[in-house]
Structure 1
Amino acid sequence: MRNSFKFSLGTFLLLSVFSTISSTAQIILHDKKTQVTTKTFYQRDTISLKLDIYYQGQLKDKKPTVLFVFGGGFVTGKRDNKLFQDYFNFLAEKGFKVVATDYRLGLKGKKFPTPFNTSALRDAIDTAVTDVFRASNYLINNAETFGVDTSMIILSGSSAGAITALHADFNKRNATALARNLPEAFQYKGVISFAGAILSYQGKPKYKIPPAPTMLFHGTADKLVPYNKVRLFNRGFFGSKFLAGRFKKAGYPYYFQYVEGMGHEIAGTPMKDKLPDILWFIQNYIFEKKRYFMEVDFKDADSKRSFQMPDKKKRW
C-alpha cells in the first residue's frame, strides 16, 4: 500500500495533461452571442485574482451560475484556457452564467511532497479553496450587478480544479474554518467534477450535513488522480469510485460516470463529449431535486490503449 500511495501521489503532482497547452491571450468564442466580462475579485500586494463571467443577454439578467476551477497540478494552468470554451459556451447558450476563476497556485516553485510529508499539498488545496470562497463571496456580494442567482451556484472543476471544487463543498458542508467568510446559510447547489478526489488526514471523508448533489467523471486507468483510493495510515486520496460508494451508502444523491481503460484525459473530454449528460444532471439532480444514485459504465470497444502522462520527471 505504501508504494501504491507514493506512485499515485507523485505522478499526480507532475501536471495535468491539459496544463501543457498554452491558453490564448484573447478568448476566441465559437458562439458570437456569448459575452465575457472580466473582474478583479481579490487584490493584495502583488496578488491579483480575476474571474471571467460568460453570459448571453444582459449581464444583470439573473441566472443559475457555474463556478469553474481550472486544473494544472496546483503548479500551472489558466482560467481562460481554450480547452474549456466549448463547455462555457454550451452552458451560456443553455441559460447559465459561467464564472471561470483564478486561484493561487500553491505548489508553484515548491518541492514535491513525499508520502510522509504531504503538508505542502494540503496547504495548496486549502489555498485554492480559500480563493474559490473569495470568488464565491464576491459573486454573492455583487449578485444583482452580475445577475447571479445565489441560490443556484454550482461548482465545477478539472483535475486540480476538481479536487478544489470537491474540497470547497466538503469544507462548507462541514463548516470548517476555511468556510467562515461565506454566509452561514449559503451552500453550493451542486458539484461537477472531472477527475477529482478528496485528500483526507482523518481517514474516510465524512460530511456533517449532506453534500451537494455531485457528478463525478473518472477514468479507471487514471494514474494522476486516483480513481478509487490510495492510503497511507490515516491519510489518503479518495477518488471518484470511493466517493460514489460513500455517497451511495450514506444516501447522498450522486451521478458517477467512469470510463474503462481511460486515464487522466477524462479531466477534459467530458467538457466536449458529455455536454448533454451534464445538462441532464443539472436538470434532474439540481433543478428537479431528484434523489438518484446513478453509475454509468462507459467503454469504447475501439479504444486500443489508455493515454497516461509519462513519468520521466518522476522525482522519487
Structure 2
Amino acid sequence: MLKTAIKAFKKSWFFVNKLYLLIPFLYFLVFDFSSAIVGFLVFSFLFLIRILTQKVPLDPLKEFEKRVVVYKKTDVGDLKLDLWYPENGRAAYPTVIYAHGGGWISGFRNQPNNVSWCRYLASKGFCAVSVGYRLGILKSIDEIMSDFSDAIAYTREHADELRVDPDHLFLMGLSAGGHLALLYTAYQTFHNVREQLSGIRGVIAFYAPTNLRDLFEKDSKSFFARFATLLTLRGRPGSIEELYQEYSPIYWLSERMRPTLLVHGKEDTTVPFSSSVQFARELKRLKVPFRFLVHQTGNHTFEFSQKDVKTDWILEQTVRFLRAYLKDRKPTPSLLNEELRKHYEN
C-alpha cells in the first residue's frame, strides 16, 4: 500500500515539477530573504552541474576526430553541424544525423549529453552529425523543421567533403529531436518525395511525442512540456487543432515509412509512454518494419540517469538496429512483443 502511494506521489504534478522546492524557498523568502536568494543560486548551480555532466553510461574513454561546419545562415546567426568520426579512417562513413531534445525551446547541439551520444555512435563505426537548429522561443515549428530539413540536405549534398556515405543515412533524435526525425521521415514517405528520402535507411526516436496532443493528456505531468509546446506552436490544441495534427508524425504514417526504432521509458511523466505505443500500433497495422525498446522503470532521458543493465542493453540494441539496416536486404515487419500486448490489454 505504502509502495503504491509513493509511486503515485512520484508521478504527481507536485513531484514531477519539483514544486516541493518552493516550500523552503517561500519560507525563507518571507522570513530570511538573503537565505532564499542563496538557496536559489545554489540550486541553480547544482542543476547546471547536473545538465553539464550528463552522458550515456557507455561513453567511450577515447578521443575522436571532430569537425564543425556551417550549414545555414539565418537572421539569428550561423547554424552549425558537429561531425564526430570513427577511428578507422574510411573515405565515407555510414552516418547518423542527430537532433537534440529540449522541448524545441532549449538545448544545443554540443551539450554534454548530446556529445556523449555522438561519441558513442562514433565508437561503433558511424559518423554522428549533431544538428544545431533555431529554437521555438523565437521561431515557429515550421522554421525549426526547415532547419532540420536543410541540415539533412546539406549533409547529403556535401557528402564527399564531409566523408559521409550518402546512401547510408539514419535520422535520430531525443524527445523533441526524436519528434523532428519522425516527422521528417513520416511526412516525406507519406508524400513519397524520393529526393528528400535519398539514402535514409531508418529513423530512431527516444521518448518522442508522436501526437502533440499527448503532451496535454493526464499522463504528461510536466509543466515544461506543455509550456514548450504552447510556445512553439503558438496556441492550444483546441484553438489550432489542424496545426497540431499537421506537426504530429502519427498523422503522416504510411506503408512507405522507413524502418523505425522507438525507445521509451514506461514511467515517463514528460512524454507519455502511450505516445510511442500508439505509434507502434500504427506501424504494425501498416506492416512497417520496426522495433520498440522499453525501459520498465525508465523516466524521461533515462539513459543519462539510470545507468543499469537495461539501459546498456538498449544502447547496444540501438547500434544493432543501425547495423541491420546498413545491409541491402528486404526487412521483415517486427511483431509487437509480449510487453506491448500486455499494455494494450490493460
Task: Note whether the superposition's TM-score is higher than 0.5.
Answer: yes
Q: Distance in 2 between matches of 1:294 and 1:67?
A: 27
From 172, 186, 190, the equivalent of 1:156 is 172
Are residues 1:222 and 2:268 paired? yes
- Aligned-partner residue type, residue 148 of structure 1: V
Cα distance change on mapping 1:296 and 1:278 into 2, 3 Å: farther
Alignment of 1:21-40 (within 5 A): 21-23=50-52, 30-40=60-70
From 35, 48, 52, the equivalent of 2:78 is 48
Q: Which runs of 5+ in 2 are unaligned?
A: 1-11, 18-46, 54-58, 212-243, 340-346
Deviations 1:108-151 (A, max 9, x none): 26xxxxxxxxxx9xx42x33221111111111111101111111
State the identity as a percent: 25
Cα distance change on mapping 1:185 and 1:154 into 2, 3 Å: closer
Q: Which residue of 1 aligns with 2:39?
A: none
Are residues 1:198 and 2:214 paired? no
- Aligned-partner residue type, residue 226 of structure 1: P
Q: Distance in 2 between matches of 1:220 and 1:57?
A: 36
Q: TM-score, normalised to structure 1's length?
A: 0.69
Cα distance change on mapping 1:268 and 1:244 into 2, 3 Å: farther
Q: Which residue of 1 aligns with 2:100?
A: 70
Q: Distance in 1 between matches of 2:204 and 2:176?
A: 13
Higher strand share: 1
Cα distance change on mapping 1:184 and 1:136 into 2, 3 Å: closer
Deviations 1:256-312 (A, max 9, x none): 0122343213365699622211111122244354324155678xxxxxxxxxxxxxx
Alignment of 1:1-316 (within 5 A): 21-23=50-52, 30-57=60-87, 61-106=91-136, 108=137, 123-124=140-141, 126-175=142-191, 183-184=195-196, 186=198, 188-199=200-211, 201=245, 205-228=251-274, 239-266=275-302, 268=304, 273=312, 274-287=314-327, 288-295=329-336
Q: Distance in 2 between matches of 1:46 and 1:212?
A: 33
Shift of 1:70: 0.5
8 Å contact 2:255–2:288 — kept in the other structure? no
Shift of 1:58: 7.9
Deviations 1:226-249 (A, max 9, x none): 221xxxxxxxxxx21111111111
Q: Distance in 2 between matches of 1:151 and 1:221?
A: 37
Q: Distance in 1 between matches of 2:315 and 2:153?
A: 28
SS at match of 1:197: coil
- Aligned-partner residue type, residue 204 of structure 2: I
8 Å contact 1:23–1:78 — kept in the other structure? no
SS at match of 1:39: strand
Shift of 1:184: 4.8
Q: Which runs of 5+ in 1 are unaligned?
A: 1-6, 13-17, 110-119, 229-238, 299-316
Q: Distance in 2 between matches of 1:48 and 1:242?
A: 37
Shift of 1:169: 0.7
Q: Which has the higher contact order (CA 8 A, sep 6+)?
A: 1
Q: Distance in 1 between matches of 2:190 and 2:299?
A: 31
Higher helix share: 2
- Aligned-partner residue type, residue 290 of structure 1: P
Q: Distance in 2 between matches of 1:152 and 1:296?
A: 28
Shift of 1:163: 1.0
- Aligned-partner residue type, residue 256 of structure 1: F
8 Å contact 1:189–1:286 — kept in the other structure? yes
Q: CA RMSD, aligned part only?
A: 3.3
8 Å contact 1:36–1:55 — kept in the other structure? yes
8 Å contact 1:166–1:197 — kept in the other structure? no
Q: Tell which structure's C-alpha radius of gyration is larger.
A: 2
Deviations 1:65-111 (A, max 9, x none): 000000111111011121233432232122211000101111x26xx
8 Å contact 1:42–1:49 — kept in the other structure? yes
Between Structure 1 and Structure 2, how many residues are aligned?
253
- Aligned-partner residue type, residue 324 of structure 2: N
